[in-house]
Structure 1
Amino acid sequence: MVPPERRRRSTQRDIAQRAGVSQATVSLVISGGATSAQIAEPTRRAVLAAAEELGYAANVAARSLKGGRNRLLGLYTFESVFPTDQRDFYYPFLLGVEEETARQGYDLLLFCSGAARAERSIYAGGTNRLKIADGCVLLGRNVRREELSALVREDFPVVFVGRREVDGGELSYVAADYVAATAALVAQLARLGHRRILYLRAQEDGEPTRDRAEGYRRGLAEAGLAQDEALVRVLTDPAELTAERLAGWIDGLGSTAVLVEPTEDARLTGALAVLADTERVRFPADCSLALLGDPPGWTPEARDWTRFSLPRARMAGEAVRVLVELLDQDTPEPRRLTVPCAFVPGDSIGPARTRPVPFPLRPDGRPKP
């Protein structure tokens, strides 16, 4: 994709010309202070409309400082991410952002919501609230794509923790290398003699799921294994991962190994705990099982599943470092960085067992009569 042409940042003078008002009027409207009530409502709407068209948002703090910098970085989360303890999924991300921000000599401002409602928005009242900071790190699963596109259009410096693609431009991000990590797990299973590897993917079709799927296909190709779409199943609900259903997939498809994409809640952890306690399917005696990421809420007391682990603290720290580099460039170009994942050997994979010839399955995963 060819990056959009860079343009200079719009000013209040540009807004005044577009709206047909004085620059002083624009300043009153943009400031939002008590004196802005003096402006007639049609004029105020015209100014805000012009500001939105030009991609302008006031940076009140930086405007008063020499050089236009206030040494303040933002962290915006699209959902609540405050951790309850150090095992929380988001805890390493927040720790990495905080440590690298301090190392770079900046202060950190947390943006959490523009209104008292569940759905968060960067553009409260049509204005980019993030611009009180020099730039911002973005974090979260349930993103608003239209707002990411708007940030790209107005050329505001942001870096997303995780790969995110948007329409109309390129977003800077730092992401885990799911493709290479998944391909490496497939390669490890192939070395252990596994030839039919079942892939249970998440129902969502976001970038992490697509990257894992690409890694699965790449791993099969590099190992010289045939790709069989019957071996790719969508796991709509982790509760579906019962011993009976998994046994049906294994026997019916002739699979000797299973790759499972983790979910964002504890349902998968619970389902895996039940599987580990049953004798219906034993890992790795009956079948090898590996996770494409960390199980949520995992503790050292839980089963040590074979998996790869996301470098969450490093990803967040690299996002801050990339953001500062963008701020130091006169004409910054989008940066896209991937960070390797760490292989965790665990105890749930082993040499492949000889499986019976597969027979047809019904859509629910059980054998056809």
Structure 2
Amino acid sequence: MAPPERRRRSTQRDIARRAGVSQATVSLVISGGAASAQIAEPTRRAVLAAAEELGYAANVAARSLKGGRNRLLGLYTFESVFPTDQRDFYYPFLLGVEEETARQGYDLLLFCSGGSPAGAASTGGATGAAGGPGPERSIYAGGTNRLKIADGCVLLGRNVRREELSALVREDFPFVFVGRREVDDGELSYVAADYVSATAALVAELARLGHRRILYLRAPEDSEPTRDREEGYRRGLADAGIAVDETLVRSLPDPADLTAERLARWIEELGITALLVEPTEDDRLTGALATLAGTARVRFPQDCSLALLGDPPSWTPQSRDWTRFSLPRAQMAGEAVRVLVELLDQETPEPRQLTVPCAFVAGDSVGPVPAAPAAHTGGWGPGT
């Protein structure tokens, strides 16, 4: 017996012929988003009915006709974040998304394909898992929004393409970013760590211990998390009645430049007794700190107190227990899924921004002001 003939898959041209409209009209209706609002309602229903009859993307047609959903949520990452082990910095985010998606009765779709080569049309210099250059990722690879397979999407990553976030806002595509992100031409939904309050609380703790000369070592990039940390630093000083000294706000392009010699000069010439450090996304800074802690020239906290403004990546119980605040990563990711589902349930969703408190970790690198701190003699400009 000859095998049964395989039925040809229906195309948008078939739908156009069945509904008596142009193929361009079919494309607008099927793709959804803000552009489909140009189509008259009777025409839109005729196209969707034809698509359902012909079996073309039946899930999309059924969702649009009946107000249902694919029951699919997406997770899109702007850089490689898939964990190599459970200590990976991003692992709790992925775990939080997965667990809350299942709890909400959805399936999870991970978008992780690469886009253009590193350096091409870059808006943030995406990095690979080891911190080196990696392939640029693009939501609009090929010119279309690939996320529309899902009902909505959680977005994650440091090296974002701002123009793509703006495009998603213009399309009214439902998404929630894990972390505070802003665009110039719209407002988006996000769930972020409360870096402002957490940083201010660390400054307050240092001030309680008698510290008045507190150096803030910020990331060189002017991202929203860095701006929030700096705002918290300035707020904490103001609350403690300490005037801001701009020479104590600095950045290092290469974390490896944080040497014992440099820190000793800050202690001797600037008179600092405490250091607040913004962690990097890789292990270079914590590696430099481990090297510092292994020298006899500067001891923490005997010679200088040190606190991290966030979690060190790939921290293990065998690592130095730095005083810090810890990001509620799994909670942030779970909240992002909940906010996304709430947006999907609303007829006319409004952007939502949610901040989640961080947890103080006492650690062992902060203590009272040394008995005889070095006298401040000045001499270094900001950003050294």
Q: CA deviation at 1:64?
A: 2.7
Q: CA deviation at 1:357?
A: 2.4
Q: What is the aligned partner in structure 1 of residue 113 from structure 2?
A: 113
Q: CA deviation at 1:73?
A: 0.5
- Closer/same/farther in 2, CA of residues 362 and 219 from structure 1, 3 Å limit: closer
- Closer/same/farther in 2, CA of residues 53 and 196 from structure 1, 3 Å limit: farther
Q: CA deviation at 1:113?
A: 2.3
Deviates more, 1:72-81 or 1:90-99: 72-81
Deviates more, 1:267-276 or 1:118-127: 118-127
Distance 2:189 2:382 in 1: 41
Which letter maps to 1:349? Answer: V
Once the two structures are superposed, what CA deviation does each residue of 1:306-357 show, in whole Å capped at 9, x if it has no partner? 0000100000000000000000010111100000001000000000124232
Distance 2:282 2:36 in 1: 38
Choose from 239, 249, 273 the match for 1:222. Answer: 239
Distance 1:75 1:281 in 2: 44
Q: 1:125-274 to 2 correspondence within 5 Å? A: 125-274=142-291
Choose from 273, 295, 299 the match for 1:282. Answer: 299
Distance 2:36 2:302 in 1: 61
Distance 2:74 2:61 in 1: 16
- Closer/same/farther in 2, CA of residues 139 and 115 from structure 1, 3 Å limit: same
Which letter maps to 2:162? Answer: R
Q: CA deviation at 1:132?
A: 1.2
Question: Residue 269 of structure 1 aligns to a residue in which SS?
Answer: helix
- Closer/same/farther in 2, CA of residues 128 and 365 from structure 1, 3 Å limit: closer
For the 8 Å contact 2:78–2:159, the answer to whether it is kept is yes
Once the two structures are superposed, what CA deviation does each residue of 1:233-265 show, in whole Å capped at 9, x if it has no partner? 112111111001001011111111000000011
Question: Residue 67 of structure 2 aligns to a residue in which SS?
Answer: helix
Distance 1:342 1:278 in 2: 29
* 2:331 matches 1:314: yes
Q: What is the aligned partner in structure 2 of residue 72 from structure 1?
A: 72
Question: Residue 246 of structure 1 aligns to a residue in which SS?
Answer: helix
For the 8 Å contact 1:306–1:347, the answer to whether it is kept is yes
Q: How many residues align?
A: 332
Distance 1:248 1:90 in 2: 35
Q: What is the aligned partner in structure 2 of residue 82 from structure 1?
A: 82
Question: Residue 338 of structure 1 aligns to a residue in which SS?
Answer: strand
Once the two structures are superposed, what CA deviation does each residue of 1:1-48 show, in whole Å capped at 9, x if it has no partner? xxxxxxxxxxx9xxx9xxxxx73412665799xxxxxxxxxxxxxx9x
Distance 1:344 1:276 in 2: 19
Distance 1:194 1:215 in 2: 16
Q: What is the aligned partner in structure 2 of residue 39 from structure 1?
A: none
For the 8 Å contact 1:194–1:352, the answer to whether it is kept is yes
Q: What is the aligned partner in structure 2 of residue 63 from structure 1?
A: 61
Q: CA deviation at 1:364?
A: 9.6
- Closer/same/farther in 2, CA of residues 115 and 287 from structure 1, 3 Å limit: closer
For the 8 Å contact 1:162–1:174, the answer to whether it is kept is yes
Once the two structures are superposed, what CA deviation does each residue of 1:277-304 show, in whole Å capped at 9, x if it has no partner? 1010000001100000111121110110
Q: What is the aligned partner in structure 2 of residue 359 from structure 1?
A: 377
Distance 1:54 1:248 in 2: 65
Distance 2:208 2:183 in 1: 38
Once the two structures are superposed, what CA deviation does each residue of 1:178-225 show, in whole Å capped at 9, x if it has no partner? 000000000000000001101111111100100000000000000111
- Structure 2 unaligned spans of 5+: 1-11, 40-47, 49-55, 118-134
Which letter maps to 1:158? Answer: F
Which letter maps to 2:158? Answer: R
Q: CA deviation at 1:359?
A: 1.2
Distance 1:209 1:107 in 2: 34
Q: What is the aligned partner in structure 1 of residue 122 from structure 2?
A: none
For the 8 Å contact 1:52–1:127, the answer to whether it is kept is no
Once the two structures are superposed, what CA deviation does each residue of 1:66-122 show, in whole Å capped at 9, x if it has no partner? 324111111111111110001101100000000000000111111112657521111
* 2:314 matches 1:297: yes
Question: Residue 268 of structure 2 aligns to a residue in which SS?
Answer: helix
Question: Residue 350 of structure 1 aligns to a residue in which SS?
Answer: coil
- Closer/same/farther in 2, CA of residues 320 and 365 from structure 1, 3 Å limit: closer
Distance 1:210 1:364 in 2: 17
For the 8 Å contact 1:248–1:365, the answer to whether it is kept is no
Q: What is the aligned partner in structure 2 of residue 98 from structure 1?
A: 98
Distance 1:338 1:151 in 2: 22
- Closer/same/farther in 2, CA of residues 306 and 28 from structure 1, 3 Å limit: same
Once the two structures are superposed, what CA deviation does each residue of 1:133-184 show, in whole Å capped at 9, x if it has no partner? 1110000111000010111111111000000001211110000000000000
Distance 1:263 1:303 in 2: 16
Distance 2:215 2:202 in 1: 12
Identity rate of aligned residues, in percent? 78
For the 8 Å contact 1:114–1:122, the answer to whether it is kept is no
- Structure 1 unaligned spans of 5+: 1-11, 17-21, 33-46
**Normalization by structure 2: what TM-score?**
0.81
Question: Residue 239 of structure 1 aligns to a residue in which SS?
Answer: helix
